[in-house]
Structure 1
Amino acid sequence: MEMKELMTKDALALNNELSELLKAQFKLRMQKGTQQLQDTSQLGKVKRDIARVKTAMTQKAAGK
């Protein structure tokens, strides 16, 4: 997911995207805890995507 894509979305779509990413992060953490997660790099990718969405939300709120 790129910032260009996120900046074209409205606030509701960003909230939905954030919600989905947080659910995915939780599932990945549970898989890691039960040692079922094969590709641990997914955790970092989801974490960065969450940060991108939050950044886009902040920028939209500031009016940039």
Structure 2
Amino acid sequence: MSPHKLRHTYATNLAEQTNGDIPLIMSQLGHTSSDISLLYINTTREKARLAAEALDKRREKL
């Protein structure tokens, strides 16, 4: 495990636990740009699909 891989793992876990709280992730990683922080967050296609479905369901309720 390299420090770089550890940083990616930490960012991904933090994103999952905080429902993608980008300002918090940026703060924890020491970034000033959300674009850079997003590069550290790894997700699977299945997680992305489930997130999109959840957003669609929320949109339908509105």
Q: TM-score, normalization: structure 2?
A: 0.36
Q: TM-score, normalization: structure 1?
A: 0.35
- Structure with more contact order per residue of length (Cα contacts < 8 Å, sep ≥ 6): 1
